[in-house]
């Protein structure tokens, strides 16, 4: 396994649509998945999409373990720890309830910044695991948010493109000042 270099906002690989994986059980995909999981954990990320590690394929990994905390933002978002470590190859998403829920998002490809993004709060997703078995779940809260965020990477979309108010695009180092000024 290896820790992979993460592409940052502005790199062309992040702006293109990822290609479907032809053989989800192939050894190169298993190696990619193992490296992505190691990279995500090393970077303290909640998710990672293959385009973020310069591989334009439809592969995402994500998790929201109970031990994960988000200092400063925990007061400003509902943090639902319900996503086990999951690998989705050729994932699809379906909105169950389009009612939006807002939350603060960060991204390993947009380091040091956070933005307030509204997304559907209840979704269903499906894909294939690296063992070739189907994966299908419903998700709410942070679990739904992280899946949608990673799926956006497969379409060449970064979270700032989903923001409605750029005044809510802030440096992580300024969160305490921002929340205080915003009355949180």
Q: Which residue among 150, 172, 174, 184 is the active-site one?
A: 150
Instruction: Name the one residue in this structure whose structure tokens are 């702006």.
Output: 15
The first and second tokens of residue 29, run together, are 């995909």
**H/E element holding 41?**
helix 27-42
Q: What is the DSSP letter of 57?
A: B
Q: Is the dihedral of CA 164, 167, 172, 177 positive or negative?
A: negative
* 94 catalytic per annotation: no
Q: Are 152 and 98 in contact (CB under 8 A)?
A: no
Phi, psi of 101 (to 5 degrees): -130, 130
- Residues noted as catalytic: 150
């Amino acid at each position: 396994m290896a820790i992979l270099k993460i592409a940052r906002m502005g790199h062309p690989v992040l702006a293109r649509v990822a290609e479907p994986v032809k053989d989800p059980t192939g050894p190169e995909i298993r190696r990619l998945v193992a490296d992505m999981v190691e990279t995500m954990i090393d970077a303290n990320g909640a998710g990672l999409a293959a385009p973020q590690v310069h591989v334009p394929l439809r592969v995402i990994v994500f998790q929201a373990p109970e031990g994960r905390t988000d200092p400063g933002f925990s007061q400003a978002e509902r943090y639902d720890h319900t996503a086990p470590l999951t690998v989705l190859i050729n994932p699809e998403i379906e909105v169950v309830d389009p009612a939006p829920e807002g939350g603060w998002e960060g991204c390993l490809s947009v380091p040091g910044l956070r933005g307030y993004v509204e997304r559907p709060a209840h979704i269903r997703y499906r894909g294939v695991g690296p063992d070739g078995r189907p994966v299908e779940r419903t998700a709410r809260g942070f679990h739904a948010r992280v899946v949608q965020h990673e799926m956006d990477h497969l379409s060449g979309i970064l979270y700032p493109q989903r923001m409605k108010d750029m005044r809510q695009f802030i440096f992580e180092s300024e969160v305490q000042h921002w929340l205080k000024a915003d009355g949180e």
